[in-house]
């Protein structure tokens, strides 16, 4: 065994997040596949939990990274030096987003994007109340955890942020909770970790209307649902609304760590004074990560990856017919597949792994397993994967 892949080092010298890590050994990755040192191939149906939306090591992304590495790496903290790739990425984002979302603050992850968005909303409005949704997930740092809806995950880390209220997702009556005391409503455009919970268009438009009426900023977290996963580049396009602040990460970087919160220049400017450096990050806007993100957006656009998302999603759904499946919830290529128990799901995930298929469960809804493959997955790969999943269900 190559000592670089020693499982004892992984278990003893790398901090563990669960008592039972997934535990496959990865030597290389390409497209929808991961490979172990002994050559076993796995089909990645979860895109590294939403990250590799255009597949692993897309050649245009790899080339963009190499080109930037040949120029320079980190040179200064965020917001001080003018650099080509952060500039070009911001320009590209602004061209793709609605006109009011024209100013980007780069960070390093999804939870950092949400932390920045919460601070921005409180600073801009001068209010302290935050409203979030039950069963939501916005990250694991203190602020993001405070507005996440899973009490089991939160209890050991209290006290968290004060003045946070929770409403039920997709329940129009609860919208009256939003008042002129509310700084921001933060919500996932589609709840991911809760098991792919899809709101109605009516609900989303009512939320937008109420926020506008009360001067409340609407923060839409698209860290899982964005970047083409639903069939449009941004999931909020599906509902005919525009947030005041938009957060992105995961697939945004094409495999490298980058996140962002995006708003209008008028709103974002309040972080520059009283105090100056109202938000700051050392590595936000890293030029190599920005080069990767820019290449990712270019690939999605130039290769027309959005046009077949719904077709591929429908193919998955048509093939995944089994009497043990209780429900399938899907939007584009984002799936939650429900079973009778968490134990059943855990067994299916394990059996699928044995068959070379990577699926995974949801933290807040263990009765489902997730499918969120690279948008580049082919029909042949979908059919092969579904055959293996049905076999895993039979053997679970």
Query: Is 210 in the same domain as 330?
Result: no
Statement to judge: residues 226 and 88 lie in one domain: yes
356 and 265, same structural domain? no
Residue 1 confidence (pLDDT) above 80: no
Asked if residue 191 and residue 108 are part of one domain, the reply reads yes
Residues 74 and 33 placed together within one structural domain of the fold:
no
Query: What value does the mean pLDDT take over residues 212-216?
Result: 98
pLDDT at 373: 98
Residues 126 and 259 in one domain: yes
Question: 315: Cβ–Cβ under 8 A, 6 or more apart, which residues?
Answer: 379, 382, 383
pLDDT band, residue 4 (cuts 50/70/90)? confident
274, 302, 330 — which closes off a domain?
Answer: 302
Residue of 111, 77, 110, 105 lying closest to 268 (CA atoms): 105
What's the whole-model pTM score? 0.97
Shared domain for 371 and 248, answered yes or no, is no
Q: Are residues 30 and 103 in the same domain?
A: no
pLDDT for position 20:
86
Asked if residue 30 has pLDDT above 80, the reply is yes
* The domain boundary residue, chosen from 272, 287, 302: 302
Rounded Cα–Cα distance for residues 285 and 161 (Å): 27
What confidence tens digit (pLDDT) does each residue in 134-178 have? 999 999 999 999 999 988 889 999 999 999 999 999 999 999 999
Give the pLDDT of residue 275: 95
Domain shared by 13 and 142, yes or no:
no
pLDDT for residue 86: 98
Instruction: Indicate the number of domains in the chain.
Output: 2
Instruction: Decide which of 302, 330, 357 is a domain's last residue.
Output: 302
Radius of gyration of the chain (CA): 21
Q: Residue 314 sits in which domain range?
A: 3-54+308-395
Q: Check residue 390 and give its pLDDT.
A: 98
Do residues 236 and 281 both lie within one domain?
A: yes
Q: What is the pLDDT of residues 178-198, one digit of tens each?
A: 999 999 999 999 999 999 999
Kindly state whether residues 181 and 323 are assigned to the same domain.
Answer: no
For 3, other C-beta atoms within 10 Å of its C-beta total 7
Together in a domain, 97 and 128? yes
Model confidence at 101, in pLDDT bands (50, 70, 90)? very high
pLDDT-derived band at 40 (thresholds 50, 70, 90) equals very high
Question: Could you tell me the CATH number of the domain that includes residue 48?
Answer: 3.90.1150.10
Q: What's the chain look like in SS3?
A: CCHHHCHHHHHHHCCCCCCCCCCCCCCEEEECEEECCCCCEEEECCHHHHCCCCCECCHHHHHHHHHHHCCCCCCCCCCCCCCHHHHHHHHHHHHHCCCCCCEEEEECCHHHHHHHHHHHHHHHHCCCEEEEECCCCCCCCHHHHHCCCCHHHHHHHCCCCCCEEEECCCCHHHHHHCCCCEEEEEEECCECCCCCECCCHHHHHHHHHHHHHHCCEEEEECCCCCCCCCCCCCHHHHHCCCCCEEEECHHHHECECCEEEEECHHHHHHHHCCCCCCCCCCCCCCHHHHHHHHHHHHHHHHCCCCCCHHHHHHHHHHHCCCCCCCEEEEECCEEEEECCCHHHHHHHHHHHHHCCEECEECCCCCCEEEECCCCCCCHHHHHHHHHHHHHHHHHC
Whole-angstrom distance, CA of residue 372 vs CA of residue 385: 12
Average pLDDT, the chain: 97
Q: Which residues contact 47 (CB under 8 A, 6 or more apart)?
A: 53, 251, 372, 373, 374
Is residue 207 within 8 Å of residue 185, measured between CB atoms? Answer: yes
Per-residue CA distances from 384 to 316, 319, 356, 388 (Å): 10, 10, 11, 7
Distances (CA, A) of 277 to 76, 80, 113: 14, 11, 16
Q: Domain containing 250 — which CATH number?
A: 3.40.640.10
pLDDT tens sequence across 255-273: 999 999 999 999 999 999 9
For the stretch 281-298, what's the b/e string if a residue is b when 16 or more beta carbons lie within 10 angstroms of its beta carbon? Answer: beebbbbbbbbbbbbbbb
Residues in the chain: 396
pLDDT of residue 249: 98
Of 135, 158, 119, nearest to 272 (Cα)? 119
């Amino acid at each position: 065994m190559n000592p670089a892949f020693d499982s004892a080092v992984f278990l003893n010298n790398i901090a563990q997040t669960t008592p039972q890590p997934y535990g496959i050994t990865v030597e290389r990755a390409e497209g929808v596949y991961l490979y172990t040192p002994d050559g076993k191939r796995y089909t990645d149906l979860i895109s590294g939990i939403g990250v590799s939306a255009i597949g692993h090591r897309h050649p245009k992304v790899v080339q963009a990274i190499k080109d930037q590495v040949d120029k320079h790496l980190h040179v200064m903290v965020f917001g001080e030096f003018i650099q080509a790739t952060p500039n070009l990425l911001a320009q590209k984002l602004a061209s793709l987003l609605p006109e009011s979302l024209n100013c980007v603050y780069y960070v390093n992850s999804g939870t950092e994007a949400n932390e920045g968005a919460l601070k921005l909303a409180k600073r801009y409005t001068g209010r302290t109340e935050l409203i979030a949704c039950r069963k939501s997930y916005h990250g694991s740092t203190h602020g993001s955890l405070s507005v996440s809806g899973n009490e089991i995950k939160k209890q050991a880390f209290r006290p968290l942020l004060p003045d946070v209220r929770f409403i039920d997702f997709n329940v129009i009556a609860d919208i009256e909770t939003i008042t002129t005391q509310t700084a921001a409503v933060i919500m996932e455009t589609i709840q991911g970790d809760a098991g792919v919970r899809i709101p109605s268009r009516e609900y989303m438009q009512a939320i937008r209307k109420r926020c506008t009426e009360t001067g409340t900023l609407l923060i839409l977290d698209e860290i899982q649902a964005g970047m083409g996963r639903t069939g449009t580049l941004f999931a909020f396009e599906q509902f005919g609304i525009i947030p005041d602040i938009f957060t992105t990460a995961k697939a945004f970087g094409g495999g490298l760590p980058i996140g962002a919160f995006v708003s209008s220049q008028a709103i974002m400017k309040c972080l520059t004074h009283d105090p100056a450096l109202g938000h700051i990050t050392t590595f936000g806007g890293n030029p190599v990560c920005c080069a990767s993100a820019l290449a990712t957006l270019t690939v999605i656009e130039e290769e027309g990856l959005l046009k077949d998302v719904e077709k591929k999603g429908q193919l998955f759904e048509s093939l995944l017919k089994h009497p043990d499946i209780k429900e399938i919830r899907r939007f584009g290529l984002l799936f939650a597949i429900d079973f009778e128990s968490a134990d059943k799901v855990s067994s299916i995930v394990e059996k699928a792994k044995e068959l070379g298929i990577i699926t995974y469960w949801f933290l807040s809804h263990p009765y489902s397993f997730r499918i969120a493959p690279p948008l580049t997955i082919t029909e042949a790969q979908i059919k092969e994967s579904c055959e293996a999943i049905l076999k895993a269900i039979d053997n679970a």
